[in-house]
């Protein structure tokens, strides 16, 4: 038997004797690797004469192909045997309970925030944002709030320490400063909502030091109260998912609107739960009015050429009304049991087409 025949018998025998894929890979490296038996013999071809090189090269390539084929065949056999062994030992117990669902839930405030955005977005409103820490002018002065107004007192507003010039920054008490910034940075027509966090010194069952608010602003050369009433009526029908809702506009006073109105919707109370759109009771949900000329002027626009309306409502309170949540303080207690009860599935994204809630 020639040397190559002996080598072939040796390598093929080692391949067939491999009992697992790790051993087989070791045989492959010893035969076909850079320093393997066949590779080392390939390196000697350069020292041979052309005729010897041709003959030896053909023999080595044939040996290489045979060994590679044997390795591939043995590898397939080992994989098949391994699969049969797994199938014989592994099984699925269909009587076991299903895996528990994901524990995470969407917070009611986030859900209602998105619902409001969807509704006003369908009406053509865009979302505007602004800083939480504001100057006294943006939070009060530009909104026509006089210096002696109770809202400016420290028992109602969070102030920062005075600066060297005596001025003090505040945690915004409403998102109305966003309206001023939008007027300064945009051209009419303007149609925005400004949802966000706001801060006031208050804490009880229906008030918290930090809460969420959304305000709306529409400005152009012809918007009037009729547009405001239609806009709020359509919002309430869509948000509370009712076919009709009665609304009552009561005269009120806000420094930044003139005339100013508080808006009530009809409802009924059954077993401590409120139902919107039915009944003879009334529930106040928001404030609104035509933007005061001084506010328009503070935003850098001409009140002789521009007019419009604004409104504001609490996102947390809307969530309480719609989903029957009795205490506002629970929104901020990080109680997972509460969130699992009142929270929403993350995949149920509210849309007007698919349903809000």
Taking alpha carbons only, the member of 317, 326, 323 closest to residue 275 is 323
Q: What is the pLDDT of residues 281-333, one digit of tens each?
A: 898 999 999 999 999 999 999 999 999 999 999 999 999 888 888 888 888 88
Q: Which residues of 80-112 are buried (b: 16+ CB within 10 A; e: fewer)?
A: eeeeeeeeeeeeeeeeeeeeeeeeebbbbbbbb
Tokens encoding 136:
């006294």
Does the pLDDT of residue 165 top 70, yes or no? yes
Mean residue pLDDT across the chain: 86
pLDDT tens for each residue of 192-227: 999 999 998 876 666 778 889 999 999 999 999 999
Tokens in use for 241? Answer: 């998912």
**Amino acid 356: pLDDT:** 65
Spell out the SS3 assignment of 247-276.
EEEEEEEECCEEEEEEEEEEEEEECCEEEE
pLDDT at residue number 1: 40
Q: Provide the token pair at 105.
A: 């839930």
Of 194, 200, 189, the C-alpha closest to 157 is 200
Residue showing tokens 């013999």:
41
Phi then psi dihedrals of residue 149, to 5 deg = -70, 140
* Distance, CA of 245 to CA of 236 (rounded, Å): 7
Q: What confidence category does residue 95 fall into, taking pLDDT thresholds of 50, 70 and 90? A: confident
Whole-structure pTM value:
0.67
The per-residue pLDDT for 225 is 93
Average pLDDT for 124-128: 94
Tens digits of residue pLDDT in 331-347? 888 888 888 888 887 76
Instruction: With beta carbons less than 8 A apart as the criterion, state whether 172 and 198 touch.
Output: yes
**Which residues in 326-335 are b (16+ Cβ under 10 Å) and which e?**
eebebbeeee
């Amino acid at each position: 038997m020639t040397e190559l025949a002996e080598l072939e018998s040796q390598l093929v025998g080692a391949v067939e004797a491999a009992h697992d894929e790790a051993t087989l890979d070791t045989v492959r490296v010893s035969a076909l690797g850079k320093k393997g038996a066949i590779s080392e013999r390939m390196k000697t071809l350069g020292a041979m004469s052309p005729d010897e090189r041709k003959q030896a090269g053909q023999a080595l390539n044939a040996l290489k192909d045979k060994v590679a084929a044997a390795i591939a065949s043995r590898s397939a056999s080992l994989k098949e045997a391994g699969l049969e062994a797994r199938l014989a030992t592994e099984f699925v117990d269909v009587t076991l309970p299903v895996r528990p669902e994901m524990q995470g839930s969407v917070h009611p405030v986030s859900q209602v925030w998105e619902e409001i955005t969807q509704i006003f977005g369908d009406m053509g409103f865009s979302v505007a944002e602004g800083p939480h820490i504001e100057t006294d002018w943006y939070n009060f002065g530009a909104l026509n709030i006089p210096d002696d107004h109770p809202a400016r007192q420290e028992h109602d507003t969070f102030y920062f320490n005075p600066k060297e010039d005596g001025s003090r920054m505040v945690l915004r008490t409403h998102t109305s400063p966003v309206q001023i910034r939008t007027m300064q940075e945009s051209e009419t027509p303007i149609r925005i909502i400004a949802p966000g966090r706001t801060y006031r010194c208050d804490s009880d069952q229906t008030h918290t030091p930090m809460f969420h608010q959304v305000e709306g602003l529409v400005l152009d050369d012809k918007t009037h109260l009729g547009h405001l009433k239609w806009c709020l009526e359509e919002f309430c029908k869509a948000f509370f998912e009712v076919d009709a809702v009665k609304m009552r506009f009561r005269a009120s006073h806000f420094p930044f609107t003139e005339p100013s109105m508080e808006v009530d919707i009809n409802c009924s109370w059954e077993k401590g739960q409120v139902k919107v759109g039915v009944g003879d009771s009334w529930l106040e949900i928001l404030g609104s009015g035509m933007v005061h000329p001084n506010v328009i002027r503070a935003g850098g626009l001409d009140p002789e050429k521009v007019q419009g309306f604004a409104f504001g409502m609490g996102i947390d309170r809307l969530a309480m009304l719609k989903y029957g949540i009795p205490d506002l303080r629970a929104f901020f207690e990080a109680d997972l049991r509460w969130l699992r009860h009142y929270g929403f599935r993350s995949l149920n994204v509210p849309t007007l087409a698919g349903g809000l809630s």
